[in-house]
């Protein structure tokens, strides 16, 4: 991998990918329309002559001169409040944006990497979720704009793979957290940390018995790097199999932030998945990968970032 283009390059995951591949000596082109991405995520990279930023909406047209070895399509609102605020841009970037990014990868004979999601499994009826599970998604519910966009993106990616024999990678990303998440991103980790650090009550939706499995961003980036280098054209789950209830997460954040905030219970959002846990047997076997950072260590690093940002 010498020269890569990353859509959503100024986002949470995109900016970590830019940083990672620059450190490995690659040339990196980040493309972002800055809808939910932020320039400050990549500000430190501008002094690197191997980094370039292009402000553009990838749903329109995507082209750059010169050779590309990989196109990583990471552009999309990803937090439930974001994609419900921007339902049409979310559907467009998953559908039209994936089409443009695939077209660019095909033209450049580059590997195409799709940021997919555990949301393709919807509100799962099997737990943990292996890649072979087809999912339980409500296509017309408020979350459907994200879930179905990503499901379409996977279908389009496989169609390009089959029709054009293109090398593709599909990474099904489970809840990821770490530095550079936006304070007001609306997801559980940024909400709980911000609330804990500012002495406001931690907002637990529902009774907090729903579960999630959280992976620290550095572990995820390592998995994506291995996936790109593998020959795997089939979807791969990347996540941390440690499953916890939201109540447990809220209490852990409160303890690690040494906060005296109380917990308050708010209504559960529509179609909120009751359980979520990755089966990572495929990644373990084929990528020799497993997450290494414990929840406590990851949260401590994330709390430090939020403390500095506040």
| Interface residue with ligand UDP, options 62, 115, 204, 293 (CB under 6 A) | 204
Q: Which stretch binds ligand UDP (CB under 6 A): 89-97, 265-273, 281-289, 292-300?
A: 265-273
H helices of the chain, in order, are 12-23, 80-85, 87-92, 98-108, 144-164, 188-197, 217-229, 246-256, 281-287, 295-309
**How many other CB atoms sit within 10 Å of the CB of residue 65?**
5
Least distance to ligand UDP from the beta carbon of 100, Å?
25
Question: With contact defined as beta carbons under 8 Å apart, do 58 and 112 qualify?
Answer: no
The smaller minimum CB distance to ligand UDP, of residues 92 and 276, is found at 276
Does residue 203 belong to the site contacting ligand UDP (CB under 6 A)? yes
- Please report how close the Cβ of residue 2 comes to ligand UDP at its closest, in angstroms: 34
Give the Cα separation of 168 and 120 in Å (integer).
18
Contact between 100 and ligand UDP (CB under 6 A)?
A: no
Residue 210 binds ligand UDP (CB under 6 A): yes
Candidates 191, 240, 259, 302: give the one binding ligand UDP (CB under 6 A): 191
Is 146 a catalytic site residue?
yes
Residues 9, 11, 80, 223: which binds ligand UDP (CB under 6 A)? 80
Number of residues interacting with ligand UDP: please give it, by CB under 6 A.
Answer: 15
What gap in Å lies between CA 156 and CA 166, rounded to an integer?
12
Q: Which two tokens stand for residue 304?
A: 């430090």
Cα 197 from Cα 259, distance rounded (Å): 7
259 lies in the binding site for ligand UDP (CB under 6 A): no
- Contact of 35 with 76, CB cutoff 8 Å: no
Residues 151-190 binding ligand UDP (CB under 6 A) are: 175, 187-188
What CA–CA distance (Å, rounded) separates 213 from 279? 11
User: Which of these is catalytic: 83, 121, 146, 216?
Assistant: 146
Q: Which helix (H) or strand (E) holds 238?
A: strand 235-238
129 binds ligand UDP (CB under 6 A): no
Shortest CB 190 distance to ligand UDP, Å: 8
Q: Which of 70/195 has CB closer to ligand UDP?
A: 195
Rounded CA gap, 142 and 11, in Å?
22
| Residue 159 φ/ψ, nearest 5 degrees | -65, -40
CA 258/CA 137 separation, integer angstroms: 38
CB of 182 to ligand UDP, least distance (A): 12
Should residue 150 be labelled a site residue for ligand UDP when binding is judged by CB under 6 A? no
Residues that bind ligand UDP in the complex, under the rule CB under 6 A = 79-80, 175, 187-188, 191, 203-205, 210, 212, 246, 268-269, 272
Point out the residues that are catalytic: 146
């Amino acid at each position: 991998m010498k020269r890569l283009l990353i859509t959503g390059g100024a986002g949470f995951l995109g900016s970590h990918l830019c940083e990672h591949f620059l450190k490995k000596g690659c040339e990196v082109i980040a493309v972002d329309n800055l809808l939910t991405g932020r320039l400050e995520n990549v500000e430190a990279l501008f002094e690197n002559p191997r980094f370039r930023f292009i402000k553009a909406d990838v749903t329109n047209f995507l082209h750059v001169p010169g050779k590309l070895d990989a196109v990583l399509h990471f552009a999309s609102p990803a937090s439930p409040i974001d994609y419900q605020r921007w339902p049409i841009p979310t559907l467009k970037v998953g559908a039209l944006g994936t089409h443009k990014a695939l077209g660019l990868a095909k033209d450049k004979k580059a590997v195409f990497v799709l940021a997919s999601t555990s949301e393709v499994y919807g509100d799962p009826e099997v737990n943990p979720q292996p890649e072979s599970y087809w999912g339980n998604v409500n296509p017309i519910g408020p979350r459907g704009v994200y879930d179905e966009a990503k499901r379409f993106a996977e279908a389009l990616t496989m169609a390009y793979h089959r029709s054009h024999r293109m090398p593709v990678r599909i990474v099904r990303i489970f809840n990821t957290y770490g530095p550079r998440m936006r304070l007001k991103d609306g997801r559980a980790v940024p909400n709980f940390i911000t609330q804990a650090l500012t002495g406001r009550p931690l907002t637990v939706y529902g009774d907090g018995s729903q579960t999630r499995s959280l992976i620290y961003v550095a572990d995820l980036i390592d998995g994506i790097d291995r996936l790109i280098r593998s020959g795997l054209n089939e979807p791969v789950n990347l996540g941390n199999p440690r499953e916890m209830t939201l109540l447990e997460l809220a209490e852990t954040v409160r303890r690690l932030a040494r906060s005296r905030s109380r917990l308050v219970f708010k209504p559960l959002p529509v179609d909120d998945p009751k359980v979520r846990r990755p089966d990572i047997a495929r990644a373990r076997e084929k990528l020799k990968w497993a997450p290494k950072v414990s929840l406590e260590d990851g949260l401590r690093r994330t709390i430090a970032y939020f403390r500095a940002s506040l």
